[in-house]
């Protein structure tokens, strides 16, 4: 495997000469740089383990988590002649890419964008993860397991399509099950002063918080949650699982009881434990969800290229991806449906706190989906 700079926006990860190419859109700069690097390491591990068995080359581009730059990257990769685009990672940029790939008629496979609109009515858009509808329903049901007579306050990021939609999905399922929504509060991506919001939640009479957001805002909020939320149960989602939550400067009071939905758990089974050991050996750190999701997406993408009659024809690669047989991945059993969404389950994890900081995510259980 070799990685070299081709252009300011491009990295080349080669697995041979004259092969079809898969473009990979990652946030390697900007606010999600840490997540992008985690995803890139998952891809690197997949490539190194496949060795000469890979049917493709990978071309990596940086979108800096920006929708406009994402569209530019799609156009660059399409002009380059890639057979498939792997990514983007997040819902906002994946929705932008979804429109662009349909226009360019090149398929995309996002490892981790969960918003339903990413794949809706678009035969060129696929995902390797569950949808927000699924995790909203799962966490609504879990709320009743953890709290008797749950009264929930929901906190949503108004600048995030992911956060806003997931809040809606949770609320719908929670109220249908008979739960009481006592308050809904809003904040904005980039906010860091959450003391007044935390106090407003306390005054609302909630005994449960649902916080579907990304790790930087979550970390800032949890750092000031004590004493107002002492003993409170807090439910989160897959957007939490990022190196930002585990940074040394993030302090979380041990009285908080925190659980999240996620795609991947390190010690769920022998397969995930073995992957985690290999990842730690290579990169000297624990793999996050984006490493595992990108590994699985790369496996699906390579399988589609291998199965296509003409691996350099994006339309034939799309057809091959849509008709792939089920694959057992690190993040579950992936059975691709005609609408571009796989049938797969999700995991629920507890956030383990040690010495006042987030230490790890501990597997609690898997919620089945499809054939899981």
HEC string of 151-162 equals EEEEEEECCCHH
At 1 the pLDDT is 34
Q: Which of 11-20, 164-173, 241-250 has the lowest mean pLDDT?
A: 11-20
Model confidence at 172, in pLDDT bands (50, 70, 90)?
very high
In a domain, residue 207? The reply is yes
Tell which phi-psi region holds residue 62, choosing left (phi > 0), alpha (psi between -120 and 50) or beta: beta
Model confidence at 11, in pLDDT bands (50, 70, 90)?
low
Whether residues 198 and 330 share a domain: the answer is no
**Stretch 285-296: mean pLDDT, rounded?**
95
At 32 the pLDDT is 87
How many residues make up the chain in this entry?
Answer: 372
At 5 the pLDDT is 33
Whether residues 125 and 165 share a domain: the answer is no
Which residue's structure tokens are 């930002």? 244
The tokens of 314 are what? 């994006």
Residue 107 structural domain: 2-130+270-340
In a domain, residue 95? The reply is yes
Model confidence at 31, in pLDDT bands (50, 70, 90)?
confident
At 69 the pLDDT is 97
Whether residues 20 and 73 share a domain: the answer is yes
Question: What whole-number percentage of the chain has pLDDT above 90?
Answer: 85
pLDDT exceeds cutoff 90 at 330: yes
pLDDT exceeds cutoff 90 at 278: yes
Whether residues 250 and 284 share a domain: the answer is no
Whether residues 33 and 53 share a domain: the answer is yes
Whether residues 243 and 358 share a domain: the answer is yes
pLDDT exceeds cutoff 60 at 4: no
Whether residues 258 and 176 share a domain: the answer is yes
pLDDT exceeds cutoff 70 at 103: yes
In a domain, residue 284? The reply is yes
Q: Give how far Cα 354 sits from Cα of 5, 11, 224, 253, 334, Å.
A: 40, 38, 17, 9, 34
Whether residues 249 and 307 share a domain: the answer is no
Backbone φ and ψ for 199, nearest 5 degrees, come out as -70, -35
Model confidence at 6, in pLDDT bands (50, 70, 90)?
very low
CATH of residue 145: 3.40.50.2300
Using one digit for the tens of pLDDT, what is the confidence trace for 223-258?
999 999 999 999 999 999 988 899 888 999 999 999
Distance CA 164, CA 170 (A): 10
Split into its structural domains, the chain has a count of 2
Find, among 225, 234, 256, 204, the residue nearest to 143 by Cα. Answer: 234
In a domain, residue 372? The reply is no
Distance CA 103, CA 310 (A): 21
Whether residues 181 and 72 share a domain: the answer is no
| Residue 234 DSSP SS3 | strand
Angle at 139 between CA 366 and CA 342, to 5 degrees: 55
Whether residues 219 and 362 share a domain: the answer is yes
In a domain, residue 86? The reply is yes
In a domain, residue 21? The reply is yes
**Stretch 31-49: mean pLDDT, rounded?**
94
In a domain, residue 231? The reply is yes
Contacts of 219 (CB under 8 A, 6+ apart): 244, 245, 247, 250, 358
Whether residues 151 and 258 share a domain: the answer is yes
Whether residues 307 and 333 share a domain: the answer is yes
């Amino acid at each position: 495997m070799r990685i070299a700079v081709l252009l300011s926006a491009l990295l080349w990860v080669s697995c041979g000469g004259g092969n079809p190419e898969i473009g990979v859109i990652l946030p390697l700069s900007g606010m999600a740089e840490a997540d992008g690097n985690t995803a890139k390491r998952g891809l690197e591990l997949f490539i190194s383990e496949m060795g000469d068995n890979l049917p493709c080359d990978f071309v990596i581009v940086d979108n800096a988590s920006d929708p406009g730059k994402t569209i530019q990257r799609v156009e660059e990769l399409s002009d380059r002649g890639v057979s498939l685009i792997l990514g983007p990672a997040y819902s906002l940029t994946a929705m932008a890419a979804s429109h662009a790939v349909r226009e360019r008629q090149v398929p995309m496979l996002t490892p981790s964008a969960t918003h339903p609109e990413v794949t809706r009515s678009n035969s060129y858009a696929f995902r390797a993860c569950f949808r927000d509808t699924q995790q909203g329903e799962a966490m609504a049901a879990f709320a009743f397991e953890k709290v008797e007579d749950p009264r929930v306050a929901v906190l949503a990021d108004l600048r995030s399509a992911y956060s806003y939609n997931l809040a809606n999905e949770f609320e719908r399922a929670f109220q249908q099950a008979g739960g009481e929504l006592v308050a809904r509060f809003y904040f904005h991506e980039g906010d860091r002063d959450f003391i007044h919001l935390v106090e407003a939640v306390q005054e609302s009479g909630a005994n449960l918080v649902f916080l579907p957001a990304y790790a930087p805002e979550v970390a800032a909020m949890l750092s000031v949650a004590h004493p107002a939320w002492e003993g409170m149960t807090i439910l989160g989602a897959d957007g939490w699982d990022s190196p930002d939550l585990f940074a040394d400067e993030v302090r979380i009071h041990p009285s908080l009881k925190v659980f999240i939905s996620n795609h991947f758990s390190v010690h769920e089974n022998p397969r995930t434990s073995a992957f985690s050991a290999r990842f730690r050996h290579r990169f000297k750190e624990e793999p996050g969800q984006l490493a595992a999701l990108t590994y699985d997406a790369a496996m699906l993408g390579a399988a589609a290229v291998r199965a296509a009659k003409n691996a350099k024809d994006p339309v034939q690669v799309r057809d091959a991806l849509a008709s792939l047989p089920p694959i057992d991945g690190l993040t579950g059993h992936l059975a691709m449906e005609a609408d571009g969404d796989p049938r797969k389950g999700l995991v629920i994890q507890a956030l383990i706190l040690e010495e006042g900081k987030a230490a790890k995510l501990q597997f609690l259980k898997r919620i089945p989906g499809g054939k899981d």
